[in-house]
Amino acid sequence: MRAAVLTEFNKDWQIQTLPDPRPAPGQVLIRIHASGMCGTDLHAHHGHLGAKLPIVLGHEPAGEIVELGAGVLDLKVGDRVGVFWNQKGDGRCAVCQAGRPEHCRNAQSWLNLGGANSELMLAWASGCALIPDGLSYELAAPLFCGGYTVMSGLRNGEPKPGERVAVLGMGGLGHLALQLSKAVGLETFAITGQADKKAELKEFGADEVLLSGDDPGAALQAAGGADVILSTTNSAKQIAAAFAGLRPRGRFVNMGVPDGPLTINPNVLMWGQRQLRGSSQDERSDLFETLTLAAAGKVKPKIELYPLARANEVRERLQAGKVRYRAVLQHGG
């Protein structure tokens, strides 16, 4: 199989031909048709995730099952599937026993089995979700990390009918958070630092687009504040500032990987009983809901498509903040 391989941190990925893997018991082999590139791939590229080299990146896979390992009962050869981050817990620790394998410290992911920037990929059957009919591989791929993550964030923000959601950071995750929040009927503001995105964010459904400038909290306050802020930015400074844009009893849900510690004003936190929450890919039903909304045409990732051979160029484009809004690698067929 052809694959883009990270052999040395911060160096170009090498397009190599590797032996085709075979699925172990409980695993499936997937012919990858599309692989989304996520901001976390940059962290992996720079060596911040502790990946063991060499490794194939890519954790937004969409493809077709071509082989089943022993004991796989529910999936079939020919199934169209994607794979999410934590595919399988160890089954034995307290959180696994409590039915929360997504929080298992020993969970298996693409870091163990290899990722989707490849013609073939192994996955645990328990980490696969069916792609609904009518949803293409290219549009499904970004939902397996980006879409899933922000749908969990939206749910963990516990918006009530009539409340206002603001999405901070308008990249791969943010543009999906905006659409998902609108799709479930909530008033939704977008906060971006890039004025040239304004018209497009309105097309995605934003009720208002606020320019963050140096102080997104002040911008949001001036617009009446938000009950839930879904934050996908990596800027610790922007997060700290935006927190002050919460209405009383508001919830700030952080889904990014900030570039430093979060310094939250304790007065703003206490007076008004505001909350800072963290969220990642959570309940499996969040992914199902995301896929269902996308299949119904209510949410549509805005993607740029590239062949696998251009993976390095795409990574540099992502690093430079030029991708609108998700880059997806295509793998033939």
What does the binding site for Zn ion look like in residue numbers (CB under 5 A)?
A: 38, 40, 89-90, 93, 96, 104, 145
CB closer to Zn ion out of 83 and 186: 83
Nearest distance in Å: CB 172, Zn ion:
8
Nearest distance in Å: CB 95, Zn ion:
6
CB closer to Zn ion out of 104 and 170: 104
CB closer to Zn ion out of 61 and 89: 89
Nearest distance in Å: CB 283, Zn ion:
16
CB closer to Zn ion out of 8 and 90: 90
CB closer to Zn ion out of 104 and 154: 104
CB closer to Zn ion out of 27 and 109: 109
Nearest distance in Å: CB 211, Zn ion:
26
CB closer to Zn ion out of 95 and 264: 95
Nearest distance in Å: CB 319, Zn ion:
15
Nearest distance in Å: CB 316, Zn ion:
18
Nearest distance in Å: CB 87, Zn ion:
12
Token pair 């995605």 in the structure block, residue: 204
- For helices 284-295 and 172-183, the axis angle rounded to 10 degrees is 80
d(CA 293, CA 300): 9
d(CA 236, CA 183): 28
Terminal Cα distance for the chain, rounded: 13
